[in-house]
């Protein structure tokens, strides 16, 4: 089945909830998740990104395409603790408390280990793993004080399996999985749930720039459906984990893949 299914309509999974999503400008999984959150009935939404123009455009699109008026944008570099603190403080104020956080910020690339510099290694881990850690650390005190909240992290099947030229990204995503499991046990004691999605391949413009067309076609051809996922198909699973339908799940990493993880 190489043809993607029809877009699934919203079912009110996030009715009445507020949502904060990192790295959500552009055409990737983050923006798809923001749109889905609005379509699933969230009462207020804030998205962050490091690109001002793209962020403003994303906010305008979300308001126009979903009809949700309370959509806000805030610049945030997740490698900068002050940016992270400012984002969470502003979101807490604008959204009247954050019910759902989706950690989507991440960085990939292609490089053999022997050719990889310390800076290339550190940059991928700082954005993808430590950035996720900073967001969780900053937001948990607020959620724990209220006795509820949900965090959904974006991992990758590369956290489980090997692929050439992906050592830095795979290590970072494996770290996100471990961070999800451990932090979830701590958060559960306060009524807060933390889980993660683990996509195989979801095509979007940023991924096309970061990886070769040959590699992307090769990976997509190995999928059971003979195609890459649509970004909204990954976002759908994020919505499930963010909703009350996943109320008994904590520390789980859900593979969004049409092949064995």
- Helix, strand or coil for residue 163? coil
CA distance 138 to 12: 28
Task: Write out the two tokens for 4.
Answer: 């993607």
Question: What is the DSSP track for 23-83?
Answer: S-SSSSHHHHHHHHHHHTT-SEEEEEES-HHHHHHHHHHHHHHH--S-EEEEE--TT-HHH
CA distance 45 to 62: 10
- Of 7, 72, 169, 248, the active-site residue reads 169
Task: Write out the two tokens for 55.
Answer: 């962020």
Q: Active site includes 7?
A: no
CA distance 232 to 76: 23
The 10 Å CB-count burial string (b at 16+, else e) for 135-158 is bbebbbebbbeeeebbbbbbbbbb
Looking at the annotation, which residues are catalytic? 169
């Amino acid at each position: 089945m190489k043809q993607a299914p029809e877009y699934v309509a919203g079912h009110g999974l996030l009715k009445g909830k507020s949502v904060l999503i990192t790295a959500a400008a552009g055409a990737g999984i983050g923006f798809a998740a923001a749109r889905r959150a609005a379509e699933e009935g969230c009462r207020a939404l804030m998205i962050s990104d490091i690109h001002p123009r793209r962020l403003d455009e994303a906010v305008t699109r979300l308001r126009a395409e979903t009809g949700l008026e309370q959509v806000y944008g805030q610049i945030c570099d997740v490698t900068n603790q002050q940016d992270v603190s400012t984002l969470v403080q502003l979101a807490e104020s604008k959204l009247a408390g954050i019910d759902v956080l989706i950690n989507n910020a991440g960085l990939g690339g292609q490089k053999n280990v022997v050719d990889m510099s310390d800076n290339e290694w550190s940059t991928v881990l700082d954005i993808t793993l430590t950035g996720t850690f900073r967001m969780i650390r900053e937001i948990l005190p607020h959620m724990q004080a209220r006795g509820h909240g949900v965090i959904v992290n974006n991992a990758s099947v590369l956290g489980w399996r090997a692929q050439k030229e992906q050592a830095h990204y795979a290590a970072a995503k494996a770290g996100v999985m471990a961070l999800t499991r451990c932090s979830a046990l701590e958060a559960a004691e306060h009524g807060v749930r933390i889980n993660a999605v683990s996509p195989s391949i979801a095509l979007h413009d940023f991924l096309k720039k970061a990886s070769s067309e040959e590699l992307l076609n090769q990976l997509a051809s190995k999928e059971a459906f003979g195609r890459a996922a649509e970004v909204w198909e990954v976002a759908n699973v994020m919505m499930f984990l963010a909703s009350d339908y996943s109320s008994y799940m904590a520390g789980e990493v859900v593979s969004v893949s049409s092949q064995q993880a």
